[in-house]
Every structure is written in C-alpha cells, then in structure tokens.
Amino acid sequence: MIKFEEAYKIITDSIKLFGQEEVSLNDSLFRVLAEDVRSDIDIPPFNKSAMDGYACRRSDLKNTLEVLEIIPAGQAPTKNIGANQCSKIMTGAPIPEGADCVIMVEQTEIASENKIRFTASETLNNIAYKAEDISNGEVAIKKGTLIQPQHIAILASVGMANPLVTKQPRVAVISTGDEIIEPEGIPGPSQIRNSNAYQLIAQIKKLNCIPVYMGIAPDDPEKTKTIISDAFKKADVILLTGGVSMGDFDFIPSILKEKNIDIKFQKILVRPGSPTVFGVSNEHWIFGLPGNPVSSFVIFEMLVKPFLFQLMGNKEEIRNIKHPIADDFRRKKTDRLNWIPININDKGEVATIEYHGSGHIHSFCFADGIMTIPFGVGEIKKGELVDVRPL
C-alpha cells in the first residue's frame, strides 16, 4: 500500500505526449492548445475611441471647440484636429491626427451651431491605444491552455480560425459484477443498478474527453477478458469499476497481468478508494477503481481527472482551495489520507455534511467540494485552514 502522493507521481510520470489535430474555431471550446498562438496584428490595430464623444486636444478643453466631422466606427478620419477643434467620434472609431483625448458626450453642451463646450473639470483620455493589448508577433495564448469562451475571442481576433489542439482521449468504462444491472432494469434479490458507469461517463464528458461504454463484465474471467480486450481496441484509457479488492471474484488484476499490463500499484493509503489499481502498457493506461460509488467518484476527481488533463497537455494545475473550517472536526482513524464531502457556507467556511461512508453517493449531490484530511491528523480546530477540491 502506497501513499497518495506516490500514486499521483507514478500516474503522472507515465504520461506520454498525446496526438494533435486542427479543429475549427467553433469546435475548439474546452480543447487544449497544442502550440503557442501568436498574433498576426497589433490589438488594437490603431488608436481608437473607447466611447462615444468628441476627439480633441486636452490643452483646449477650457475653450469652445469647433466640430469638424463625425467619425463612425469602421471609417477613417478625413481631417486632423487643430487648435480649438474636435470631431464627433463613435466607440471603436480611429482617433484623428492631433487629438489626444476623447470627451464624453454627457460632459458637453452645444455652444452654438457646430460648436461645443466641455462641461466637466477633468477627463480621462478614453483612448484604447494601438497594441496596448497584444503586439504583432506576441504570444497571445500559450500552449497547454484549456480553451474557454474568452480564449475563443482572442483566437478569432488574431486570425486563428483552425487552432492546433491535442486529441481527446477515448476513455472506456467497464462495470464488473453479476450483481449489477442497467438502470432501466428492476433489481432482483441481491442486485443493484449500475450507477458507477454512468457517473464516470458524466465525469469523462465534463472533461471533454470521449467516453466509450463497454457494458457490464460478469463474474467470469474469460468473458471479462474479452470485454477488456475489446476496450483496448476502442480506447486509450480504460476505467474498470469493481473487481479490484480481495474477494474471491476480484480477478481484474490477474487478467491485466495476463495481458502484459505493467501494474504499478494496487492499493493506496486513502479513504475512500484504497483498492485502486493502476497499470500501463505501450499504448494504454488502465485504472481499476473500487466498486463503491463514492470511492469511484472521488478517485476519479483526485487521480483520474488530473491524469486526463495532463494527458491532453493541459498546463493548468487542478488546485485545492484553502478555507477555514466552521467547527471543530475529529476522526478516530488517522492511518490514511481521508476525503469527505463538504459545503462552503456564507462566511466562506467549510461545513461538514451528513455522510455515511463510501456507499453514500447521495451526499455528493449537496456538496460544494471534497475536503482533504491529511494522513496522521485526527483533529482540526475551528478556524484552521483546510484543503478543498471544488466540485
């Protein structure tokens, strides 16, 4: 049995460079950039007005100003600004030569025909200057960025219509056990519905990876071996739930060894999720997750999720957030790193919620995050900072 930190390092050390592909801008959301994106223009490409108003010289603000022309967005000025002159200008329009500020329409009054006066005591420049956001040739978005809607705007602005991104891993999901039936069925004696597979499929989709559901493997080594072999042909990563503990029918590790999978570990010093298996081959990564719903959910969040992020080249580290705990917390067993569901209250404090153990997945429907209780820690005093992984 190894510590969580060691298991995490083993998993991340196994990651190899994944494939790349070009996609259209509309298909790039939540994909990971496979190269630095440089701008092919200055942004803004010219000095432009940040609002509707009058472009003029700051030194003339105390004087009556003659209006030379109206400059709409998308049209170049035709006249330069001289002493005691201005041009009415729209947001986004180019600043005319000679002007060094734009005064707001609301801070002016009509002095006479074709003339205005500034009515305020001071003004900002109200100019967006050429290249103040991004310069031509500058890296606008770095390799390894998970593309969000705001990145789409920049990709479009710099002319990147078909960004190069990492390929999406295909992740096979296999449930194991004769006691498992699909959700549409009515459980008979000693049967339960298959919640783990659909939970994992949703977690995979949330990461923008591609789930491949392989069905339920019965408690039969040969049939299970066939399903696993099929999964190897259809996916890059295989997730199995159940069949990895110490029971008479928990034969998954032996099947993986038969298929020349290099099993790196079979147990972690954590609760929930201790009986977790991880193995690798030349082209595949295999996780054997515990059958308890909370265990499979939490191990996915704490180990599989960061693995898939890094497999796609995502440079954004999944971080815990520190919050003070709302009340004293105690536990009896301190021999493992422990994770429990929690809420964040209105004061930003961590509040524990009703939780019955690794079968109580319902508790996570009301949780804001997962609190980490470190190895060897049996008591946390009110107000102490704890690590929380947001959900």
Task: Encode the chain (391 residues) as per-residue pLDDT tens digits.
Answer: 999 999 999 999 999 988 999 999 999 999 999 999 999 999 999 999 999 999 999 999 999 999 999 999 999 999 999 999 999 999 999 999 999 999 999 999 999 999 999 999 999 999 999 999 999 999 999 999 999 999 999 999 999 999 999 999 999 999 998 999 999 999 999 999 999 999 999 999 999 999 999 999 998 889 999 999 999 999 999 999 987 665 544 677 788 888 889 999 999 999 999 999 999 998 899 999 999 999 999 999 999 999 999 999 998 888 899 999 999 999 999 999 999 999 999 999 999 999 998 889 999 999 999 999 999 999 999 999 999 999 9
Q: Rounded CA gap, 200 and 300, in Å?
A: 8
Residue 121 · residue 139 · CB < 8 Å? no
pTM equals 0.89
pLDDT in tens, 27-55: 999 999 999 999 999 999 999 999 999 99
Was domain 48-128 assigned CATH 3.50.50.60? no
List the structure tokens of 293. 């719903």
Least Cα distance to 361 among 203, 245, 204 occurs for 203
Question: Are 46 and 75 contacting, i.e. CB atoms less than 8 angstroms apart?
Answer: no
Q: pLDDT per residue over 160-195, tens digit each? A: 999 999 999 999 999 998 999 999 999 999 999 999
Q: Which CATH superfamily is domain 4-17+167-311 in?
A: MoaB/Mog-like domain (3.40.980.10)
In single-letter form, the type of residue at position 278 comes to: F
Ranges of CATH 2.40.340.10 domains, the chain: 321-390
Rounded CA Rg of the chain: 30
- Token readout for 64 is 């009556």
Pick the CATH number of 21-43+135-166 from 1.10.1040.50, 3.90.105.10, 3.90.1170.50, 3.90.180.10: 3.90.105.10
DSSP 52: S
Domain with CATH 3.90.105.10 in the chain: 21-43+135-166
Closest to 281 (Cα-Cα) out of 344, 224, 230, 232:
232
CATH number of 321-390: 2.40.340.10
**Token duo for residue 1:** 């049995």
